[in-house]
């Protein structure tokens, strides 16, 4: 299985010092910077647009892992790619033409991801496995940080890892990730862990990131 990667979610960062927060998690050992984009329509919250992503891009060379919780996503893929996204993840539930969106993302020379809400079965990605670089399992209902972990998603992660087989696809989990749930998820086959409050809610980002690497 690929090495464990930690992707702190800046949804939980101090928005008044967002660039400095990104620089801090870079310095303290993150692998990706996870950016939750919400539209107030697909999910009940509003967050970052391309202008914010472009503004914080100079603060790190780490990959920007951009999770689009927006519907529709396809008209905005080029904007997020131009703003500095390295991985662009769209939701299976929000995209009528998922295969086409994944082709567009890869055509923009970005890595393509698909996200699944808690009630969405893993079968939703069965016919796009040759188009994806990353699958993101939501272990909370998307829209807000700080929610409780939904344990049923551990089995979904296990089934997805079996579906992936030897394909070079990363398996990411977002929601309620802490040192305890991280171990369950890694044992089930996840290799990218998104953490918001588990990192930004502490006084020591380096220690918090290290604590989330249960396979280390």
Q: Which residues are catalytic?
A: 36, 174
User: Are 43 and 37 spatial neighbours (Cβ–Cβ below 8 Å)?
Assistant: no
Q: What distances in angstroms separate CA 75 from CA 36, 72, 98, 124, one per listed residue? A: 17, 7, 13, 22
Length of the chain: 216
Q: What does the DSSP 8-state code read for residue 167?
A: S
Q: Is the dihedral of CA 148, 154, 159, 161 positive or negative?
A: positive
**Distance from the Cα of residue 127 to its chain's centroid:** 21
Nearest to 76 by CA among 110, 122, 31, 45: 110
Helix (H, G, I), strand (E, B) or coil at 152: helix
């Amino acid at each position: 299985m690929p090495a464990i990667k930690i992707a702190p979610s800046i949804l939980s960062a101090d928005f008044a010092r967002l660039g400095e927060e990104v620089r801090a998690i870079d310095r303290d050992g993150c692998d990706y910077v996870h950016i939750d984009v919400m539209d107030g329509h697909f999910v009940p919250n509003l967050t970052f647009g391309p202008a914010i992503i472009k503004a914080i891009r100079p603060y790190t060379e780490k990959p920007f892992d951009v999770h689009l919780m927006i519907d529709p996503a396809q008209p905005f893929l080029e904007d997020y790619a131009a703003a500095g996204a390295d991985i662009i993840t769209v939701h299976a539930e929000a995209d009528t033409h998922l295969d086409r969106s994944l082709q567009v993302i890869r055509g923009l020379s970005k890595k393509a991801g698909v996200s699944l809400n808690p009630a969405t079965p893993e079968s939703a990605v069965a016919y796009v496995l040759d188009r994806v670089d990353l699958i993101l399992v939501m272990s909370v209902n998307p829209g807000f940080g700080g929610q409780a972990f939904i344990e049923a998603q551990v089995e979904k992660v296990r089934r997805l890892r079996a579906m992936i087989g030897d394909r070079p696809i990363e398996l990411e989990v977002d929601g309620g990730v802490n040192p305890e749930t991280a171990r369950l998820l890694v044992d089930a086959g996840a290799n990218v862990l998104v953490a918001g409050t588990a990192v930004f809610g502490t006084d020591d980002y380096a220690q918090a990131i290290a604590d989330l690497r249960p396979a280390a």
